[in-house]
Structure 1
Amino acid sequence: MEKPAIKDKLHIFFVLLLFASGLVLNSFLYYAKLRFGWGEMLNELINISVLSLILYSSFKTSRFEDISITQKLRLSLLLVILIYVVGYACVATVQPEFITPRYAGGFVMKPNSWAAVMVANIIGMVALACLCVCLAILRSLIFYRRKKNTPTNFYIFVFFGALTMLSAAMAGRPLKYDLASNHVMTSILLVVTTVFMTINVFRVGWITVLNRRQKFLTFLGGILFTMVGAGLLAAEVGSGVTFADMVNSYSLMAGSFLFLMTIFIFLYSLITTINALLHLPTAAIYDKKVREINSFYNLSRTINSLFDFDKIVTTVTELVCDATNANACWLEMANVKNPTARYQFDFVALKTREGFTVHFLELSSKKYLHKDKASAMIPSNDQDFLSYLAQPVESILQDKKPVLVNQVKRDKRTKDLKRSPIESLIAVPIISYDEVIGIIYAVKSVQFGFDQDDAAIISAFANQTSMAIENTRLLKESLEKERLAQELRIAHEVQMRLIPQEIPRIHNSSKTVMLDIGATTLPASEVGGDYYDFVMLPDMRTGIVVADVSGKGTSAAFYMAEIKGIIQSLAGHYPSPKELLIAVNDVLYCSMDRKSFITLIYADFNVHTGELHFARAGHCPLLHVNSNEHHFLQPSGIGLGLDNGRIFNETIEDVKVKVRHDDIFVLYSDGLIEARNIHGEEFGEERLCQSVERAREHPAELIKESIVNDVRMFVGQAKAHDDLTCVVLKVHNMNKENEPKTPASTLIQKSLKV
């Protein structure tokens, strides 16, 4: 920013320096009484330099591009008026005298006093500066929405204008539209300059973008500008001397520039005045279209940045009111998915012009848009506004098209508005997925206030509103899904922490491994309802838990956390699984939702006695695999949380099984045996037994992997519909004396022979 400022200051300095030099030179020529010769040629060179420097500075600056069209017009008019003000002020102050010597083809005023020399120099310099700036301003107007040849035509005009001025100065004759007084070359150049000047004066396309008020002011200003511009050649400053005479006495180059610019300003202002007058009849329509476009643009820009329903409906109502120049606008939204009647709409937004009051709108606004204590005193909804406009609403719901009423008092559809100041009304539906979700209303206090163009623009607003509301709904759904996903991630983390991070290895007192364990859980979704755990108990006992919480998601994860804490706290206080589960049920029943329950199997493995003591609360049976048989052990019991105690206590039973070396026990959830393939077949208990049989010689971890892999192979591409949990226990190093005397089959409720 500093360099342009310094450059501008240098230009001003050199212009003032050249002006001072010209004043000194003209003063010398006056006192020396010299005619023609080197002195006048040097004066013309000084003025050519001044003219070139001012034009260069004016054309290079971007200041004229940054101001509005009306500001450019005002500035041009003020610059021309400034020439008048300076001229009349100088003449009134000094009262210069001029004489009219005759020479070579015309009359050129000559100063008869040094005061006249000074006044001619001041007026000439001010005229040069002001007209140069005027030319730069007119250039920016001519270049508005320029075409390909526009700059070329303008600069050709400037070029031939410069040649014409130079020719007139060299011929020593003032420039005129008089072939007899001009040199032949000057006349030819003047004709060419006039042709290109005429081409440029018709570049007034900027008038179309002015509003009605601006066009009217431009018309009045154009008349004044035309008169003022023409006066620069003919207006007398005093004693029969005109501005043109004074400037020509200062410099023929400056006088020629004054002549050409005066003609150019006169023609341009005349064409501008005529065009402004021609555009005035259509200015109101143009202004309306501009308002509509601006409102639509503002709506699009605002809606794209808004995802708040209240702000959207308020913005739409205000913009519709501005675009249609309505006295009032309001918006109603359907309170059901597919409205069929007037009462199924809610009043959500209102915009009214100052001084326009409609009783039912005011009441509705206070009652529904301003929830204050006074609203309790307002009549009910049916008496406020829903009893009005029933027929237009019915028509909209049936046809899904705008309703336009330009004579409200005479139209049967709006007979309920006869006592209101409303004279014309338009109602446009807001449609989403072929359903009316709202209605935009606009009213005016004059008849025939709306036309089909208004219906079209409000329909465009309605479409944008529909999309904005839909985007808002989708955003809310997206945020809700994101929130739920975040909850599921948290619940998944909770669930993973509930599951043991390490599988215990059960030893006897001599550190010999007695029980090998393999366990896994595979949730069908991000958060499952299955759970397993291990509890280290006194007297070399180990508790094994597998549970299945009804439902999925965060609630299931929290129930899992609750039951884990309960079992970990109570397991050491109850000697049998039955007593433990009764105690657990008593605690859970008070805290669980009645729609939820938990199935659970709990086994207590005792290293000393070589027994597996277990009970089940509505859970899948325990699979026991010995040397040559598979047994599904299924003692009775109902789920936790289903009963407050009596039925649960009477139903549940526990079972003890004497274990032997290489016995295998499988605790699992129903998601394992009920896993389905693409044909709807279940994995089933038989395939489970076959999976265990194929891997029975391997450690518990590999047996568990064999079962899971077989399930996956069976399911294939089918989607998992339930969680899968599998805990495999394999007994090692059990003494023969601890083997049971009674076969395990006596405890079996259902079994499968291998």
Structure 2
Amino acid sequence: MLKSPLDLSFRGASVYNNFTFVITLIFLFLLSLRNSWITYLTRKEKFYYTFFAFMFLWGVSYLFDFAYELPVAYHSLVHAVFINGSWFFLFFYTLTCSIYLLLQLPTARIFERKMQEVKSLQNLTRAISVELDTSRLTSLITNLIIEVTDSHVSWIELYQPAADSFHVVATKNLSVQDATKLERGALQKLSGQILKERKSLVLNELTSDQKKTYFHGFRTKIASLVVTPIIGVNDQFFGLLYAAKSTSFGFDPDDVNLLEAFANQVAIALENADLLQKSFERERLEQELKIAREVQLRLLPQTRPSLAGYQLTTETIAAYEVGGDYFDFIPRHDQNQMGIVIGDVSGKGTSAAFYMAEVKGIIQSVAQQLHSPYDILCHTNKVLSESLEKKSFITLAFAVLDFKAHALTFARAGHCPIFHYKAQSKQVVYHQPEGIAVGLDRGPIFNKILEEQIVSLEKGDVVVFYTDGLSEAMNVKLEEYTENRMAHILKQYADQSVETIKKHLISDVFEFIGEHHLHDDLTLIILKRME
């Protein structure tokens, strides 16, 4: 094989040169083994490359005589060694590639399928990260199932717990008539079995009874079937993933494993979609609460009226949820009088805020025509009971302060008691005239029960109007603040200004609840006679 003058004998002075040449050949041989790229060729490409590899191997072998032409060696020994080494590399590389291709051919189909499965899972994972629409996502999955498993038909059914039924959300190669039969529960028995067992089912050869039971009258020919449950991380059952073929024994364990992998990805996607929907809903509710809060704040008085001989202060502290707390000061035709109204609309959110706006408009209008708190509340109930929902009601207290006669006339429609600190006796009196909430009755019962009361205010007397967000504020032990604690604080600081009373009362409430949040809005009006 080796021709003169290339002598690879290890004798004499040539031993060093020949040793170096042999090391180079070994290196070239090792380099020729770097052909892992063949693994990633498709099955079709491997057939083509095998044919061309053997053709190229024959061509390289044919070049042997040319690679060892003596004139080249006589002309330049360096060129001859280079040509010899190049021929050895080409021969070794072509030979190893040919052998490797031959070894790869029997498993080429399996490897190509595995690569396709990995690619499909990558596509599905990528789709999950960007696709937020459930219908488009499920349609993509049915297409991938057809592509990877060579199925003829595929569809997805999602489970609806409320109705305890399955709904077909995506189909591929299934006629409208067959999809309608599935929607009507053609596979109800089969679906119920998988819902109970929570594991995949393979029917590789449908019997005549099974075809009659499940696919009677179907236009699509189905001879083998795989059903895989879609189960989330918290064992939440989302639905079923179906793949079917028109030939018997069409599915192997690899197909089932792939469908289970797809089902896991679908479960992740559906969980993400559910979380996203909840996030959108939470964002919508937060926006709604923001709007309701803005509406509520605009409806409350921006300034406090100045009353001769009296001090007046107010406070409204919003809870996280928007309630329907409302208060207002209504000017009277008699300039020696001032109307005071405080109320609480049942419910939360925008509905409570809009009811609050309606109450404000009605009372401001009625208070200009009627004089007594009794008449004002009766008329307000008559108007509002026609528009309020059955589950909604409003508690109201309306008072008229005559700061010339120093008298307070008031009526209470189911609202919290009115606290009255009497400076002379230094006692707190709870005024609770009879009355039911607005909206609970259209008129006769409301008018009959409602009472009006008049109290005289002496110098130093303090009157407190409030909503139940104050008295029912709870601590971490779910204990309520109670009206008794309010009365204690009121007695303790009644001889000071209304701002000081308010400061200590609010401070005591928050000291009581500690780390617990207010569950309802807190509204407070404090009135004190100074002269």
State the TM-score bracket (shorter-chain normalisation).
0.7 to 0.9
Structure with more of its chain in helix, by fraction: 1
Matches within 5 A, 1:206-217: 206-217=37-48
Cα deviation 1:425-482 (Å, max 9, x = unaligned): 2111111333432111112233322111221121111111111101110111112112
Given residue 665 of structure 1, which amino acid in structure 2 is its aligned partner?
A: V
Q: Tell me, yes or no, if structure 1 residue 516 matches structure 2 residue 333.
A: no
- Does the Cα contact within 8 Å between 1:664 and 1:728 map onto a contact in 2? yes
Partner in structure 1 of residue 150 of structure 2 = 325
Partner in structure 1 of residue 117 of structure 2 = 292
Aligned equivalent of 1:577, options 369, 373, 383: 373
Which consecutive residues of structure 2, in runs of 5 or more, have no partner in the other structure? none
Aligned equivalent of 2:299, options 478, 483, 498: 498
Matches within 5 A, 1:307-346: 307-336=132-161, 339=164, 344-346=165-167
Given residue 31 of structure 2, which amino acid in structure 1 is its aligned partner?
A: N
Aligned equivalent of 2:98, options 268, 273, 291: 273
Aligned equivalent of 1:350, options 171, 182, 192: 171
Partner in structure 2 of residue 109 of structure 1 = none
- Does the Cα contact within 8 Å between 2:321 and 2:520 map onto a contact in 1? no
Cα deviation 1:13-32 (Å, max 9, x = unaligned): xxxxxxxxxxxxxxxxxxxx
Distance 1:450 1:721, change over 3 A: same
Separation in structure 2 between the aligned mates of residue 446 and residue 401 of structure 1, nearest angstrom: 23
- Does the Cα contact within 8 Å between 1:389 and 1:413 map onto a contact in 2? no
Partner in structure 1 of residue 55 of structure 2 = 224
Given residue 305 of structure 1, which amino acid in structure 2 is its aligned partner?
A: V
TM-score, with structure 1 as normaliser: 0.63
Q: What SS class does the counterpart of residue 697 from structure 1 fall into?
A: coil
- Does the Cα contact within 8 Å between 2:166 and 2:183 map onto a contact in 1? no
Matches within 5 A, 1:349-748: 349-352=170-173, 361-363=174-176, 381=180, 383-384=181-182, 386=184, 388-390=186-188, 392-409=190-207, 412=210, 416-417=214-215, 420-432=220-232, 433-507=234-308, 514-540=309-335, 541-626=337-422, 627-628=424-425, 629-676=427-474, 682-716=480-514, 720-733=518-531
Distance 1:222 1:701, change over 3 A: same
Separation in structure 2 between the aligned mates of residue 704 and residue 188 of structure 1, nearest angstrom: 103
Cα deviation 1:312-355 (Å, max 9, x = unaligned): 2122222222222222221111122695xxxx211111234xxx
Distance 1:246 1:295, change over 3 A: farther
Separation in structure 1 between the aligned mates of residue 294 and residue 183 of structure 2, nearest angstrom: 53
Distance 1:603 1:389, change over 3 A: closer
Distance 1:405 1:494, change over 3 A: same
Matches within 5 A, 1:111-126: none
Distance 1:691 1:442, change over 3 A: same
Separation in structure 2 between the aligned mates of residue 199 and residue 526 of structure 1, nearest angstrom: 74
Distance 1:391 1:253, change over 3 A: farther
Separation in structure 2 between the aligned mates of residue 302 and residue 234 of structure 1, nearest angstrom: 58
Given residue 498 of structure 1, which amino acid in structure 2 is its aligned partner?
A: L
Q: What SS class does the counterpart of residue 437 from structure 2 fall into?
A: coil
Q: What SS class does the counterpart of residue 638 from structure 1 fall into?
A: coil
Given residue 273 of structure 2, which amino acid in structure 1 is its aligned partner?
A: T
Cα deviation 1:667-697 (Å, max 9, x = unaligned): 2223434445566665444443332221121
Distance 1:436 1:178, change over 3 A: same
Q: Tell me, yes or no, if structure 1 residue 201 matches structure 2 residue 32.
A: yes
Distance 1:698 1:430, change over 3 A: same
Which consecutive residues of structure 1, in runs of 5 or more, have no partner in the other structure? 1-163, 236-241, 353-360, 368-380, 508-513, 734-754
Instruction: Report 1 or 2 for greater relative contact order, CA contacts < 8 Å, sequence distance ≥ 6.
Output: 2
Matches within 5 A, 1:173-184: none
Matches within 5 A, 1:80-95: none
Shift of residue 549 of structure 1?
A: 1.0
Separation in structure 1 between the aligned mates of residue 496 and residue 327 of structure 2, nearest angstrom: 22
Separation in structure 1 between the aligned mates of residue 516 and residue 33 of structure 2, nearest angstrom: 78
Distance 1:622 1:387, change over 3 A: closer
Structure of higher CA gyration radius: 1
Given residue 250 of structure 2, which amino acid in structure 1 is its aligned partner?
A: G
- Does the Cα contact within 8 Å between 1:175 and 1:259 map onto a contact in 2? no
- Does the Cα contact within 8 Å between 1:409 and 1:415 map onto a contact in 2? no
- Does the Cα contact within 8 Å between 2:321 and 2:348 map onto a contact in 1? no
Cα deviation 1:718-737 (Å, max 9, x = unaligned): 6644443221111122xxxx
Q: What SS class does the counterpart of residue 442 from structure 2 fall into?
A: coil
Partner in structure 2 of residue 151 of structure 1 = none
Shift of residue 642 of structure 1?
A: 2.6
Given residue 362 of structure 1, which amino acid in structure 2 is its aligned partner?
A: S
Given residue 169 of structure 2, which amino acid in structure 1 is its aligned partner?
A: V
Partner in structure 2 of residue 283 of structure 1 = 108
Separation in structure 2 between the aligned mates of residue 244 and residue 414 of structure 1, nearest angstrom: 79
Cα deviation 1:590-611 (Å, max 9, x = unaligned): 3322221111111111233333
Q: What SS class does the counterpart of residue 392 from structure 2 fall into?
A: coil
Partner in structure 2 of residue 31 of structure 1 = none
Matches within 5 A, 1:253-268: 254=79, 256-268=81-93
Given residue 466 of structure 1, which amino acid in structure 2 is its aligned partner?
A: A
Distance 1:623 1:469, change over 3 A: same
Separation in structure 2 between the aligned mates of residue 193 and residue 674 of structure 1, nearest angstrom: 92
Partner in structure 2 of residue 743 of structure 1 = none
User: Percent identity at matched positions?
Assistant: 39
Separation in structure 1 between the aligned mates of residue 183 and residue 348 of structure 2, nearest angstrom: 47
Separation in structure 1 between the aligned mates of residue 467 and residue 362 of structure 2, nearest angstrom: 20
Separation in structure 1 between the aligned mates of residue 483 and residue 99 of structure 2, nearest angstrom: 99
Given residue 350 of structure 1, which amino acid in structure 2 is its aligned partner?
A: T
- Does the Cα contact within 8 Å between 2:5 and 2:70 map onto a contact in 1? no
Given residue 212 of structure 1, which amino acid in structure 2 is its aligned partner?
A: R
Distance 1:624 1:551, change over 3 A: same
Partner in structure 2 of residue 303 of structure 1 = 128
Separation in structure 2 between the aligned mates of residue 390 and residue 649 of structure 1, nearest angstrom: 59
Distance 1:247 1:571, change over 3 A: farther
Cα deviation 1:713-753 (Å, max 9, x = unaligned): 444556644443221111122xxxxxxxxxxxxxxxxxxxx
Separation in structure 2 between the aligned mates of residue 426 and residue 623 of structure 1, nearest angstrom: 74
Partner in structure 2 of residue 157 of structure 1 = none
Shift of residue 390 of structure 1?
A: 4.8
Aligned residues: 523
Separation in structure 2 between the aligned mates of residue 493 and residue 278 of structure 1, nearest angstrom: 75
Partner in structure 2 of residue 154 of structure 1 = none
Cα deviation 1:178-226 (Å, max 9, x = unaligned): 999xx87765554443333333223222222222111111100101111
Separation in structure 2 between the aligned mates of residue 467 and residue 321 of structure 1, nearest angstrom: 21
Distance 1:711 1:205, change over 3 A: closer
Q: What SS class does the counterpart of residue 278 from structure 2 fall into?
A: helix
Given residue 224 of structure 2, which amino acid in structure 1 is its aligned partner?
A: S
